[in-house]
Structure formats: C-alpha cells, structure tokens
C-alpha cells in the first residue's frame, strides 16, 4: 500500500465519520472499511402498495400505506491496498424492499461511477447517488409495489452478503443471487417498512423544537407529544395534567386534542406513557366498560356487588352471570320470571306510559308482550285519572286526600280526616269556629267566604 493511498483512505473514513452519525456510518475495527446505511429520499405522500397474491391468507387483498421513510440501503465496503489509485472498493448492497434485479442495476451504476472517477475517492459520491437518485434511477414511483422474490439460500457468512475479498465486478457476475435478503413473508416486509417509517418519524420529531399550544413554552420534541390525526403538539407536562383530570372525572372518551373544534383523540399508548399506572388501569377499565355499553348484546349483572358483563342471547330474555351464577331477566333486570310479564315499579310506570304513547305499532306490541296489556292499560287509566284530579281537585292540607268542590262556600271539610280547611288559601281552619278565618280582618281570606260561589236567582 502506497503512503498516498493509505492517507486518502484514512481521510475518506474520517470525512464520512464527521458527515454521518453512528446510525448511518460505522467504521470497521480490523480492516480499512465499514458499513453505511443510506436512507433513500422519499417524495411526499409516497405510497407502498402490496397485493395479497403471494400468500393464501391475503389472496386478492390490497394493502396500501403512506410512508415518509423506507428501510435503508446497506452498503458494506472494504478498501483494497491500491484504492483509490488503481482498484475500486470491494462492496455489497442489501435492502429489504428492493429486488435482486434492482440491486444488480444499482451495483452496476456504482461501478460506472467508479470508472468515471477512477483514481479518486468515490464512497461519498456512491452514497449521495443511493440517497438522492435511487428511486428515479430504478423508475420507482408511487404507489410502489416491492417485488417479493424467493430464492435459494447461499452458503452463508450472512444472508445477503458475499465474500468481501472478491472484486466488485466479479461479485456481480457470480453472486447476484445473494445481493438481496430473502423476504420470507409479506407480513415481515410490511412490519419492516412501517416500523422503520415510524422510528424515523419519532427521531425527527424528537430533534425539533415546538411551542406548546397550552402553556406556550418552547420545548424540544422529546418533551412534547402530538396527536396522530391532527398533529397538534403539546408538552407532555400539560397533557399529563389534562389526561389526569379527564380520567378522574370518568371522561375517558373525552381525551380529545385541546385545540378548539378539533376531533382528534389520544390513543391508549399515549395515555399510558404519561399517566401513572393506577390511573391508566382506571382509564383502561372505564374505556372497556364504555365500549361494552355500546354493544347491544352485552348486559351487566344487576347485583350491585357483581356488575359482571354478560353476553345475552337475542332470542331469549334470560341472562346468567358467569361470576355469581345469578339468573336474571335481561329486560327488567329482576330475577328471571320465565314467560310472565316483567313487573313494573312505581318509578318505571310513568316512563312506561310515555314510552307507550310515543311508540309505533311494533314497539307497542313489544311493550304489551313484555309488561302485559292489562298493566299498560291500567297505567294509562291512572295517568288520565291523575290528570283529571290535577285539573279538578285539591289535596287536603292534612291527609292529602283529593277534594273536589262542586258548590257551596269556601269552608271545606275533608271527608277522610274530617279536617276543616279554606278552599282559597288551603289553610287549616279551627274545628270550634271554622268561620272565624273569613271574619278576621287580618286574614288573607277576610270576607271571601262566598267568593266564586254560584248563586241561583
């Protein structure tokens, strides 16, 4: 190795280490070489399209995802002794989402770049090409469907790698079948792409500065959190306090974005990250309960000490609690009563009357079968009687017996408790002299004994 080649190699490795971080460039320990992980530039709203033609479970299905990042193209390289004066770097390319033919095309273009720059260091030019021009060079546009290839495993140092001692040109002629890792299943490919996209988005978010829309302080992204749908950003301290207040109030479905008129909702993973374990357990329990409440085929055991969710059979009104074995009617929540009508409590009677009067014919028939037609008819009669009494009678001030005034003066006597009272002010009168109330100048009913009394000619 000439001193000039050695110096050029060392300068190039030092330059790459200064330009790229540890995730993008790693220098080898025992040889003059290393590994670069190049994230290809992806246009905005780039979509990855995957069809189910490769597996039985996803046959004829379509999966399409919008991504901002794709898993990196990995370039492993080693400098021969006479690089860069005479020989090119020895290298391999691997990538999760590129086919064997696509990787071969990239390898050949890297060879061409070396020929154009023979005698000069070339790694940075290679890396810039892979980062900025890979998609355009391979004519990859959105939506992009990766080619899932199945190939025989090569005798491995590692899958997707070749003997680094071979020359670059020899490698492409004899070892192209090992330039791409074998993608064993569609689900693995999906996970690789989406996981990398998510991790890169989080990495970029954590490095930026944001203004919290609640406390208006400027903080780094690692101290903030955004809502996934609307991307409104708040600091974690403010969101933690907001989540805790809502959960303690039982408003687990109200963990919306604090931005006015924004309907985005926090996902459970975000809530778990910010609140204490006990509070998250409460949130999780309330969220499950509210979800069960929305299910038409789920009722709760009516025993106050149990309240276990019970799946009900739509064709039967009996529910049996799996926890306490209590058999109950799923309609009235009382002990199961077979085909007998549900008993109506006094509190339920008024609601039943109103529900029956406002119901259509089908609902009326259902209510009659559930509670009995006679029970409903009696409830309607009682409602009419109550309305008549409210309009035509007054209650005795002593025993509350309804009293109807047909004629006579305003001194009344209850037929139930025999108490005298005034029809005008409903005041209790003296049993000895009930008329004194109307002759006393200080009384509100003074001289009104015969008021509103019909007098015949």
Cα(8)–Cα(82) distance, integer angstroms: 11
User: For residues 265 and 255, is the Cβ–Cβ distance under 8 A?
Assistant: yes
The one catalytic residue among 409, 422, 425, 445: 409
409 counts as catalytic? yes
Residues designated as active site: 409
């Amino acid at each position: 190795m000439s001193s000039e080649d050695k110096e050029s190699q060392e300068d190039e490795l030092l330059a790459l280490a200064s330009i790229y971080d540890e995730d993008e460039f790693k220098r080898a320990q025992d040889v003059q070489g290393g590994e670069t992980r190049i994230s290809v530039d992806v246009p905005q709203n780039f979509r990855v399209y995957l069809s189910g033609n490769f597996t039985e479970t996803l046959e004829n299905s379509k999966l399409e995802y919008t991504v901002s990042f794709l898993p990196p193209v990995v370039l492993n390289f080693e400098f021969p002794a006479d690089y860069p004066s005479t020989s090119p770097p020895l290298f391999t390319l691997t990538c999760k989402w590129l086919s064997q033919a696509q990787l071969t095309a990239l390898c050949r273009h890297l060879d061409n770049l070396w020929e154009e720059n023979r005698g000069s260091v070339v790694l940075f030019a290679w890396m810039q090409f892979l980062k900025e021009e890979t998609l355009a060079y391979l004519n990859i546009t959105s939506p992009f469907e990766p080619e899932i290839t199945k190939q025989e495993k090569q005798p491995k140092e590692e899958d997707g790698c070749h003997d680094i001692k071979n020359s670059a040109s020899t490698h492409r002629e004899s070892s192209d079948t090992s330039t791409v890792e074998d993608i064993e299943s569609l689900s693995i490919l999906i996970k690789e792409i989406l996981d990398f996209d998510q991790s890169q988005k989080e990495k970029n978010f954590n490095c930026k500065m944001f203004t919290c829309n609640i406390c208006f302080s400027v903080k780094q992204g690692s101290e903030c959190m955004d809502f996934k749908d609307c991307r409104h950003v708040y600091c974690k301290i403010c969101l933690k306090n907001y989540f805790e207040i809502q959960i303690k109030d039982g408003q687990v479905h109200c963990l919306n974005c604090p931005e006015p008129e924004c309907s985005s909702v926090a996902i459970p993973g975000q809530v778990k990250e910010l609140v204490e374990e006990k509070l998250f357990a409460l949130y999780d329990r309330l969220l499950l309960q509210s979800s069960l409440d929305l299910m038409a085929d789920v009722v709760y055991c009516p025993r106050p000490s149990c309240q276990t969710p019970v799946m009900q059979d739509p064709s039967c009104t009996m529910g049996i609690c799996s926890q306490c074995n209590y058999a109950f009617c799923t309609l009235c929540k009382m002990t199961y009563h077979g085909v007998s009508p549900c008993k109506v409590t006094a509190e339920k009677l008024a609601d039943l009357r109103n529900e029956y009067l406002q119901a259509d014919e089908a609902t009326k028939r259902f209510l009659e079968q559930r509670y009995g037609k006679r029970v409903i008819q009696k409830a309607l009669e009682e409602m009419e009687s109550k309305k008549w009494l409210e309009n035509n009678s007054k209650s005795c001030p002593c025993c509350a017996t309804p009293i109807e005034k047909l004629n006579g003066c305003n001194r009344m006597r209850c037929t139930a408790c025999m108490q005298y009272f005034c029809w005008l002010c409903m005041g209790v009168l003296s049993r000895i002299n009930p008329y004194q109330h109307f002759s006393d100048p200080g009384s509100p009913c003074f001289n009104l004994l015969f008021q509103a009394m019909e007098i015949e000619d």
